[in-house]
Amino acid sequence: MTDQEKKYLEIIDTLIFALDNKGKITFLNKKGYEILGYIEGELIGKNWFDTCLPSNIKNEVSNVYKKLMKGEIESVKYYENPIITKSGKEKIIYWHNTVLNDDKGKIIGILSSGDDITKSKITEQNLKESEEKYHDLLENLMEMVIVVDNKGKITYVNSRSFDLLGYRPEELTGKNLIPNLVLIDDFPFALNEKSNEKQFLGIRFIEHKMIHKDGHSIIISGKMVTRMKKDKIEHVGLLRDVTQQKEDEKSLKIKNFAIESSSNPIIMVDLNHILTYVNPAWLEMWGYTHLEEVLGKSMRKFIQEKTEDAFKKRFRKLEKTTKVTGEIIGKKKDGTIFHAHLTANTVFDEQNKPIQRMASFIDITDRFKAEKLKLEFKKQLEEKVKEKTLELLKEITERKNMEGRLKNAQNLMKYQIKQLHCLYGISHTLSLTDISIEKILRSTLYLIPPTFKFPTLINVRIIYDNNQYKLDLFKETKWKLYVMKYINEKPLLIEVFYNEDKEFIIEEKNLLKEIGERIKIGILRRETEKEKDILTDMVKNSPDAIFSMNNDTIITSWNRGAENIYGYTSKEIIGKPIHLLVPTDQYDTVLEISTKIMPGLEINHYETKGLNKNGKILDISVTVSPVKNSEGNVVGSFSIARDFTESNEQQKLYQDQLLKSSQFKSEFMASMSHELRTPLNSIIGFTDVILERISGEINEEQDKYLTNVKTSALHLLDLINDVLDISKIESGKMEMDIEDVNLSMMISQIDTMIKPLYKKKNLKFELQNIDKDKTIQVDRLKFKEILFNLLSNAVKYTEEGIVKLEFSEQEKFWKFDVIDTGIGIKEEDFNLIFQDFKRIRSDYVSAIEGTGLGLSLTKRLIEFHGGNISFTSIFGKGSTFTFTIRK
Ligand code: ADP
The pLDDT, as a whole number, for residue 455 is: 54
Mean pLDDT of 540-556: 88
Are 810 and 771 spatial neighbours (Cβ–Cβ below 8 Å)?
no
Residue 839 beta carbon below 6 angstroms from any ligand 1 atom = yes
**Relative to the CA of 855, which ligand 1 atom is closest?**
6
Residue 855 beta carbon below 6 angstroms from any ligand 1 atom = yes
The pLDDT, as a whole number, for residue 662 is: 65
Residue 855 has pLDDT above 80, yes or no: yes
Among 249-253, 443-447, 796-800, the minimum mean pLDDT is found in: 443-447
Q: What is the DSSP string of 117-167?
A: -HHHHHHHHHHHHHHHHHHHHHHH-SSEEEEEETTSBEEEE-THHHHHHS-
How far is it, in rounded angstroms, from Cα 780 to Cα 745? 11
Q: Whose CA is nearest to atom 23 of ligand 1?
A: 794
The pLDDT, as a whole number, for residue 733 is: 72
Mean pLDDT of 410-416: 70
How does residue 339 score in pLDDT terms, banded at 50, 70 and 90? confident
* Strand intervals (E) in 731-868: 738-742, 764-768, 775-779, 802-809, 813-820
Dihedral in degrees, nearest 10, Cα atoms 497, 498, 502, 508: -60
Q: Of 182, 224, 174, 217, give the one whose Cα is nearest residue 203.
A: 224
Q: Of 546, 542, 544, 524, give the one whose Cα is nearest residue 534.
A: 542
The pLDDT, as a whole number, for residue 805 is: 96
Residue 820 beta carbon below 6 angstroms from any ligand 1 atom = yes
Residue 441 beta carbon below 6 angstroms from any ligand 1 atom = no
- Please give, one letter per residue, the 3-state secondary structure of 329-351: EEECCCCCEEEEEEEEEEEECCC
Residues in the chain: 887
Residue 856 has pLDDT above 70, yes or no: yes
Mean pLDDT of 369-392: 85
DSSP letter at 182 equals S
How far is it, in rounded angstroms, from Cα 355 to Cα 277? 13
Residue 475 has pLDDT above 90, yes or no: no
Average pLDDT, the chain: 84
Among 44-48, 223-227, 542-546, 660-664, the minimum mean pLDDT is found in: 660-664
Amino acid at 152: G
Q: Whose CA is nearest to atom 8 of ligand 1?
A: 852
Q: Whose CA is nearest to atom 21 of ligand 1?
A: 793
Residue 188: partners with Cβ closer than 8 Å, 6 or more residues away: 206, 208
The pLDDT, as a whole number, for residue 718 is: 79
How far is it, in rounded angstroms, from Cα 281 to Cα 268? 13
How far is it, in rounded angstroms, from Cα 788 to Cα 854? 10
How does residue 198 score in pLDDT terms, banded at 50, 70 and 90? low
Cα of 633 vs centre of ligand 1, distance in Å, is: 55
Q: Whose CA is nearest to atom 7 of ligand 1?
A: 854
Taking only the tens place, the pLDDT of each residue in 527-539 is 777 777 777 888 8
End-to-end CA distance of the chain: 186
The pLDDT, as a whole number, for residue 456 is: 53
Residue 131 dihedral angles phi and psi, to the nearest 5°:
-60, -40
Cα of 840 vs centre of ligand 1, distance in Å, is: 7
Residue 879 beta carbon below 6 angstroms from any ligand 1 atom = yes
**Relative to the CA of 856, which ligand 1 atom is closest?**
6
Q: Whose CA is nearest to atom 4 of ligand 1?
A: 850
How far is it, in rounded angstroms, from Cα 766 to Cα 753? 15
Q: Of 485, 414, 495, give the one whose Cα is nearest residue 448.
A: 495
Residue 704: partners with Cβ closer than 8 Å, 6 or more residues away: none
Cα of 769 vs centre of ligand 1, distance in Å, is: 26
The pLDDT, as a whole number, for residue 287 is: 92
How far is it, in rounded angstroms, from Cα 701 to Cα 816? 46
The pLDDT, as a whole number, for residue 60 is: 87
CB atoms within 10 A of CB 227: 13
**Relative to the CA of 789, which ligand 1 atom is closest?**
7
How far is it, in rounded angstroms, from Cα 657 to Cα 416? 76
Residue 523 has pLDDT above 70, yes or no: yes
Q: Which segment, 155-159, 192-196, 819-823, is predicted with the most confidence on average?
A: 819-823
Instruction: Determine the residue of 797, 836, 853, 873 to mutate for testing ligand 1's pocket, defined as the one with the most ligand atoms within 8 A of the Cβ atom.
Output: 797
The pLDDT, as a whole number, for residue 193 is: 47
Residue 851 beta carbon below 6 angstroms from any ligand 1 atom = yes
Residue 139 has pLDDT above 60, yes or no: yes
Residue 453 has pLDDT above 60, yes or no: no
Mean pLDDT of 745-771: 90
Instruction: Determine the 3-state secondary structure of 206 from DSSP.
Output: strand
Taking only the tens place, the pLDDT of each residue in 476-505 is 777 778 888 888 788 889 888 776 666 677
User: Counting Cβ atoms within 10 Å, is residue 658 exposed (0-12), middle (13-18) or buried (19+)?
Assistant: exposed
Cα of 713 vs centre of ligand 1, distance in Å, is: 21
Residue 825 beta carbon below 6 angstroms from any ligand 1 atom = yes
Q: Which segment, 246-250, 404-408, 452-456, is predicted with the most confidence on average?
A: 246-250
CB atoms within 10 A of CB 99: 15
Residue 55 dihedral angles phi and psi, to the nearest 5°:
-60, -30
| % of the chain exceeding 70 in pLDDT | 92
The pLDDT, as a whole number, for residue 541 is: 81
Residue 793 beta carbon below 6 angstroms from any ligand 1 atom = yes
Cα of 621 vs centre of ligand 1, distance in Å, is: 42
Q: Of 385, 522, 376, 527, give the one whose Cα is nearest residue 462.
A: 522
Cα of 545 vs centre of ligand 1, distance in Å, is: 48
Q: Whose CA is nearest to atom 12 of ligand 1?
A: 833
**Relative to the CA of 853, which ligand 1 atom is closest?**
6
**Relative to the CA of 820, which ligand 1 atom is closest?**
23
Taking only the tens place, the pLDDT of each residue in 459-468 is 788 898 888 8
Taking the mean position of all CA atoms in its chain, how far away is CA 561? 85
Residue 63 has pLDDT above 60, yes or no: yes
The pLDDT, as a whole number, for residue 542 is: 83
Residue 822 beta carbon below 6 angstroms from any ligand 1 atom = yes
The pLDDT, as a whole number, for residue 451 is: 42
The pLDDT, as a whole number, for residue 815 is: 95
Residue 450 has pLDDT above 60, yes or no: no
Based on its alpha-carbon atoms, the radius of gyration of the chain, rounded to whole angstroms, reads 82
Residue 797 beta carbon below 6 angstroms from any ligand 1 atom = yes
Residue 236 has pLDDT above 60, yes or no: yes
Residue 859 beta carbon below 6 angstroms from any ligand 1 atom = no
Residue 845 beta carbon below 6 angstroms from any ligand 1 atom = yes
Instruction: Determine the residue of 725, 826, 828, 839 to mutate for testing ligand 1's pocket, defined as the one with the most ligand atoms within 8 A of the Cβ atom.
Output: 839
Cα of 189 vs centre of ligand 1, distance in Å, is: 153
- State the alpha helices, DSSP H only, in 761-809: 780-796
Q: Which residues are registered as beta bridge partners of 720?
A: none
Mean pLDDT of 695-712: 87
Taking only the tens place, the pLDDT of each residue in 570-605 is 899 999 999 899 998 888 888 888 888 888 888 888
Residue 851 has pLDDT above 90, yes or no: no
Q: Which residues are registered as beta bridge partners of 634?
A: 628
How far is it, in rounded angstroms, from Cα 234 to Cα 145? 13
Amino acid at 213: K
More confident residue, 502 or 173: 173
| % of the chain exceeding 90 in pLDDT | 20
Among 22-36, 152-166, 648-662, 782-796, the minimum mean pLDDT is found in: 648-662
Q: Whose CA is nearest to atom 16 of ligand 1?
A: 840
Measured on CA atoms in the order 160, 162, 167, 170, is the torsion positive or negative? Answer: positive
Instruction: Determine the residue of 855, 869, 870, 871 to mutate for testing ligand 1's pocket, defined as the one with the most ligand atoms within 8 A of the Cβ atom.
Output: 855
How does residue 518 score in pLDDT terms, banded at 50, 70 and 90? confident
Q: Whose CA is nearest to atom 20 of ligand 1?
A: 793
How does residue 272 score in pLDDT terms, banded at 50, 70 and 90? confident
How far is it, in rounded angstroms, from Cα 357 to Cα 419? 93
Taking only the tens place, the pLDDT of each residue in 630-656 is 788 888 888 998 888 776 667 677 777
Cα of 710 vs centre of ligand 1, distance in Å, is: 23
Cα of 852 vs centre of ligand 1, distance in Å, is: 7
Cα of 856 vs centre of ligand 1, distance in Å, is: 10
Residue 185 has pLDDT above 70, yes or no: no
The pLDDT, as a whole number, for residue 323 is: 80
